[in-house]
Amino acid sequence: MAVTVDARGLSCPQPVILARKAIDVGKFPIEVLVDSVTSRENVRRIAEKAGLEVDVQPTDDGFKLILTRA
């Protein structure tokens, strides 16, 4: 079962901080919900730097990033 981080409505750097905490816990996959392009790119960048695969899916109210181990 995926861990979900709902960062919609939060401005940076809060989505990145929440995603980083979930990555540090290490339970994958992690779904991160964001509602801005800036948050999407920042979370994607931090996940890729951590060596994770990132699948970005558009949603009705933003984006869902699915983070998995590479």
Write down the pLDDT at residue 20: 98
Residue 65 has pLDDT above 90, yes or no: yes
Distance CA 5, CA 64 (A): 10
Residue 37 has pLDDT above 90, yes or no: yes
Helix residue ranges, H only, the chain: 14-25, 37-49
Whether domain 3-69 has CATH 1.20.58.220: the reply is: no
Write down the pLDDT at residue 1: 79
Q: What are phi and psi of 38, to 5 degrees?
A: -60, -50
13-17 contacts, C-beta under 8 A, 24 or more apart = 13/42, 15/39, 15/42, 15/43, 16/42, 16/43, 16/46
**pTM exceeds 0.85:** yes
% residues pLDDT > 90 (the chain)? 94
